[in-house]
Structure 1
Amino acid sequence: MTAPTEIRTDGGRRPLAEPSRPPRRGMAVVVAAVVLAVLIGGHRLVPGDVGTLLDTALPWFGLVIPLLAVIAVVRRAWWPGLAAVLVPSLVWTAMFGGPFARGIVHGSSGGTYDLRAVSQNMYAANPDPRATVGKLLTTKADVLSLVELRYGSYPEALNATYPHHVVKGTVGIWSRLPIRDAEPVDLGLGWTRALRATISAPTGDITVYVAHLGSARPLDTGERDATMDRLAKAVQSDRSERVLLLGDLNTATTDRELGRLVPPLREAQEAAGSGMGFTWPSTFPLTRPDHILYDGMKAVNARTVETPGSDHHAVEADFRL
């Protein structure tokens, strides 16, 4: 088939110009950037266990953004490729940029505090719990919670340092301040993995929960969800003015299930920490199942603490009462 032609005034013929087409360079980057922005911003719309898995992995989606930018540069897709990459960048920054900016502006110190809380998953297969405890003692915590305890595995050094302590099942609390009214919280697991107690601070009582929720595995969060339901009901019905919840909730900060507790509680890492505060696995932390949640106090600093022996980092937060 011959190309279209037009008749010239001199009787000759010349080909008609090809119709203009919109530039295609960078369109793949544009599509990928839009999909990424929608996934980051609308992750809560994905239902079920797939949605929970997406929630957990969400912070790591930020690594895709510079990759898309590099592809746009290589393909010389200045417009619209690089412009499109700005969209997921802004969405990710709006969701996760605060703790990083706080660390740059304020550094790691939050100033004076009245109460320091630390929580650690001791790891049932811990080869040297004494080393773990030794590191925890260096934090100079006022309130220390331990979960996944092996019976009798906590060294006497804890009891010597903390005159007040309570153990219920596989969770325990050690405190420099008096503890009273300690009782187990039933998570429906058949053995005690949560407790509630009152700590008598000079400025008033603090209700402390220590919890180790059921396991959550990829596409299998039923046990975790059931225990979260029981814990959330206990916390939501609590009328205490000050509440502190410590432990391994097997729930990432970005997991929608944490919304059962936040609010009414707040996450210390988000309020006063720097960065994401990932705690597990200890060799290369990818997520944050360990939390310090609070209400009725002001968090002024939060961080993670590398501890030997455990497969979790500890979490630490300072509060003004």
Structure 2
Amino acid sequence: MALLLGLLMALHAQIPNRIGNLGSLVESVLPWFGAFVPVLLAGALWRRSASAVVALLLPVVVWLNLFGGQLGDRSHSGGDLTVISQNVDADNSDPAGTARDLAASGADLLALEEITPQALDTYEKALATTYPYHAVQGTVGLWSRLPLSGTQPVYDGMNYGPLAATRPADATLASDRAMRTTVATQQGPLTVYVAHLGSVRVNPRAGFSTAQRNRGVQALAEAVAAEKNERVMLLGDLNGTLDDRAFADLTAQMRSAQDVAGDGFGFSWPAAFPVARIDQILVRGVRPESAWVLPATGSDHRPVAASVSW
């Protein structure tokens, strides 16, 4: 069992997705396979099996190779810009309290996802003093201390280009789930995407259902690839961990602020007991100095934050 566990983690990329997206499902929870090591160690000690203890070296070494770099604090002091992203939850019973908590963070940019029409006015009023500029497209928005311009929705780029001028009838990345805008900083323009990709589901018949989310990932990857601005940031609830192979086209172009400058794994969901980082801050052309997870608000996601420098 120890050898099989080690091989499973080492060869996760070889697990096929043809049957119920099994490979993506395994990769979504890959760090947690390390939890089986102490269970197997207890069994080995109970059996007094030296060979079983030695066999456990394989999964331990593989896990440390994959995730050992996330155990320490990789943050640095300083930073020119602080950003926060949170899925504020459509069922949030206290949007005003969530807005106050986020405004008190001191962030320069604040990205919100899953904004309902009923709560939008609450967020606009609560954040108006701290953030004089904001742009909203459907259920996603960006509040900023700095001027914004060129805001537009992001459509499916697979057939119509990464940023379509008008919404095609069968666009697969809905205009109310992703937006692009430009932030005017003293160092020049910064392109910011805010996105809330489609939800994923696990059920006995379909397995790990990710089709809608994956189309959104592809659309964002094409949009980022077409960007002429060197400085790009993607904030949002991507409904997946970056270990999932579905995000390869995005991670080939952008770095995760948490992976580069975080402290620990940065799990953000569910808020009560986070077990996965599905809320992401990805950057290109700027340097992450620190990244962290904020305390829970009234949402079922915790806010994620990062400080970046030019």
TM-score, normalised to structure 2, is 0.89
* Residues 163-187 of structure 1 deviation map (CA, whole Å, 9 limit, x = unaligned): 1110111100011111111111124
Find 1:233's aligned residue among 222, 239, 255: 222
Instruction: Tell me the amino acid that sits aligned with residue 222 of structure 2.
Output: K
1:43 equivalent in alignment to 2:12: yes
Match of 2:145 in 1: 176
Q: Distance in 1 between matches of 2:92 and 2:35?
A: 33
Match of 2:47 in 1: 75
Q: Distance in 2 between matches of 1:214 and 1:233?
A: 17
Query: Match of 2:128, SS?
Result: helix
Match of 1:141 in 2: 107
Q: Percent identity?
A: 42
Match of 1:222 in 2: 211
1:98 equivalent in alignment to 2:63: no
Instruction: Tell me the amino acid that sits aligned with residue 258 of structure 2.
Output: Q
1:195 equivalent in alignment to 2:179: yes
Query: Match of 2:193, SS?
Result: strand
Q: Distance in 1 between matches of 2:67 and 2:132?
A: 40
Match of 1:150 in 2: 116
Q: Could you tell me whether the CA contact under 8 Å between 1:186 and 1:192 is conserved in 2? A: no
Match of 1:59 in 2: 31
User: Residue 238 and residue 168 in structure 1: after superposition, are their counterparts in 2 closer, same or farther (change >3 A)?
Assistant: same
* Residues 269-314 of structure 1 deviation map (CA, whole Å, 9 limit, x = unaligned): 1000011111111111111110000011110100111232100001
In our comparison, the structure showing a higher alpha carbon Rg is: 1
Query: Match of 1:309, SS?
Result: coil
Find 1:285's aligned residue among 274, 283, 288: 274
Q: Distance in 2 between matches of 1:99 and 1:34?
A: 24
Q: Could you tell me whether the CA contact under 8 Å between 1:136 and 1:307 is conserved in 2? A: no
Q: Determine which structure has greater relative contact order: mean sequence separation of CA pairs < 8 Å that are 6+ residues apart, divided by chain length.
A: 2
5+ unaligned residues in a row in structure 1: which ranges?
A: 1-31
Find 1:315's aligned residue among 294, 300, 304: 304
Query: Match of 1:230, SS?
Result: helix
5+ unaligned residues in a row in structure 2: which ranges?
A: 157-171, 203-207
Deviation at 1:254, TM superposition (A): 1.4
Query: Match of 1:161, SS?
Result: coil
Query: Match of 2:28, SS?
Result: helix
Find 1:118's aligned residue among 61, 84, 87: 84
Deviation at 1:113, TM superposition (A): 1.0
- Structure 1, 287-296 or 224-233: larger mean CA deviation: 224-233
Q: Could you tell me whether the CA contact under 8 Å between 1:196 and 1:208 is conserved in 2? A: yes
Q: Could you tell me whether the CA contact under 8 Å between 1:135 and 1:307 is conserved in 2? A: no
Q: How many residues align?
A: 284
Instruction: Tell me the amino acid that sits aligned with residue 202 of structure 1.
Output: Q
Q: Distance in 2 between matches of 1:251 and 1:45?
A: 19
Query: Match of 1:160, SS?
Result: coil
Match of 2:164 in 1: none
Q: Distance in 2 between matches of 1:190 and 1:316?
A: 26
Query: Match of 1:260, SS?
Result: helix
Q: Could you tell me whether the CA contact under 8 Å between 1:280 and 1:286 is conserved in 2? A: yes
TM-score, normalised to structure 1, is 0.86
* Residues 116-151 of structure 1 deviation map (CA, whole Å, 9 limit, x = unaligned): 010010100111011111111121110110010011
Stretches of 4+ moved more than 3 A in 1?
none
Query: Match of 2:141, SS?
Result: strand
Query: Match of 2:201, SS?
Result: coil
Deviation at 1:152, TM superposition (A): 4.7
What is the RMSD of the two structures over their aligned residues, measured on CA atoms? Answer: 1.3
